[in-house]
Amino acid sequence: MPTLNKLVDKAYQLFLDKEYDPALEILEQVNNDITNPQIDLQLTKEQENELVASVENFRGFNLLGKGDIEKAKIAFEKSLELNPHSSQACAGLGEVFYLCNMDYEAKVVFEWALDNNPLNQLAKAGLAKINKNLQLPENHNTLNINTIVKKKKNFYSLLAEAYQLFSEDEYHEALSKLDDADALFSKSLISKDSAAKIASLENFKGFNYLALKDYENAKLSFENALNLNPNSSQACAGLGEILFLDEKDDQAKTMFEWGLKHNPANQFALSGLKKVNRNLESENVHASFMN
């Protein structure tokens, strides 16, 4: 392992010096050493996959430096296959989509990168520049939806198209795209994390149904989201809105409060709590759980 670390350090220095081809040669050697059965690094298969994924990310950024966008995309996608939670792979794909003028696709994966690692500065900067292109606030996040990265090539496009259609008030069409995306993803529901991601899709469906005033389906979507992810702030806020529209202010207040408990920055839940408190003649920011 010390030898590998030295090789990676050398590759990193070459990357900083913009010597991309020599860096790529070293990374190829590192990858061969990691996967060579004759070299026992005493790694579990999961650890090996994470290590190879990191090498692929590094390869991807070197290829971006060279301007070889297609090969960079392949490297980042391979990294995601090995480690679906790789924030850097998502950020790399975001940069690929940005360079291809695919702003909505880029926005989706930059947001997913931040979902995996909120401190990823590359993803933060990438999302900010995409939002600027789309004339959105710098830190805008699609309805707080934590999007999903899948190996299916058309998944990114489906989710991005759904967001664009939603922003254009084409709610039926957006729901159709979300159903297609959900169908791709649900075949591989294997973990709690995956359940949380599908919950995000259900939340997005719920807000489309709300916009269509289809409150019954909106309620079902938010309930599905909450069943999949009991900590979903958006599901609580969505159910709060349904209860508010049904003039059940006390119950709506509780759900908006839970939305804020799970995510104090949820502006939809905050505005919902304020309007419920006005109906109940309470202070705008009053929340019983805070007291």
Q: Per-residue pLDDT averaged across 57-70, rounded?
A: 94
For range 15-35, the mean pLDDT: 89
Which residues make Cβ contacts (< 8 Å) with residue 139, sequence separation at least 6? 127, 128, 131
Mean pLDDT over all residues of the chain? 84
Say how many CA atoms lie within 13 Å of 132 toward its Cβ.
7
- State both tokens at 11: 């590759």
How far is the C-alpha of 69 from the C-alpha of 151, rounded, in Å?
18
pLDDT of residue 121: 93
- Residue 73 CA to residue 97 CA, distance in Å, equals 9
What local confidence, expressed as pLDDT, does residue 281 receive?
78
Report pLDDT digits (tens) over 128-176.
999 999 888 887 876 454 434 444 446 667 878 898 899 899 999 999 9
Burial of 33 per CB tally in 10 Å (0-12, 13-18, 19+): middle
232 close to 262: Cβ distance less than 8 angstroms: yes
- For residue 146, the model assigns a pLDDT of 43
Point out the least confidently predicted range of 15-19, 28-32, 58-62: 28-32
Quote the pLDDT of residue 58. 93
pLDDT band at 68 (very low <50, low <70, confident <90, very high): very high
d(CA 134, CA 117): 23
What are the residue ranges spanned by the domains of the chain?
A: 1-84, 231-291
Does 48 score more than 70 pLDDT?
Answer: yes
Beta-carbon count within 10 A of 118 CB: 10
Q: Where on the phi/psi map is residue 283: left (φ > 0), alpha (ψ -120 to 50), or beta?
A: beta
> What pLDDT, on the 0 to 100 scale, is given for residue 50?
86
Q: What is the pLDDT of residue 88?
A: 93
Least Cα distance to 104 among 144, 165, 151, 164 occurs for 164
Crossing angle between the packed helical segments 2-16 and 20-35, to the nearest 10 degrees: 160
Q: Catalogue the long-range contacts made by 163-171 (C-beta closer than 8 Å, 24 or more residues apart).
A: 163/104, 163/107, 163/108, 164/104, 166/204, 166/207, 166/208, 166/211, 169/211, 171/208, 171/209, 171/211, 171/212
Q: How far apart are the first and last CA of the chain?
A: 53
Domain 1-84 belongs to what architecture? Alpha Horseshoe (1.25)
Question: What is the 3-state composition of the chain as percent helix, strand, coil, each rounded to the nearest 5?
Answer: 75, 0, 25
Please write the tens of the pLDDT for every residue from 80-122. 888 888 889 999 999 999 999 999 889 988 988 887 788 899 9
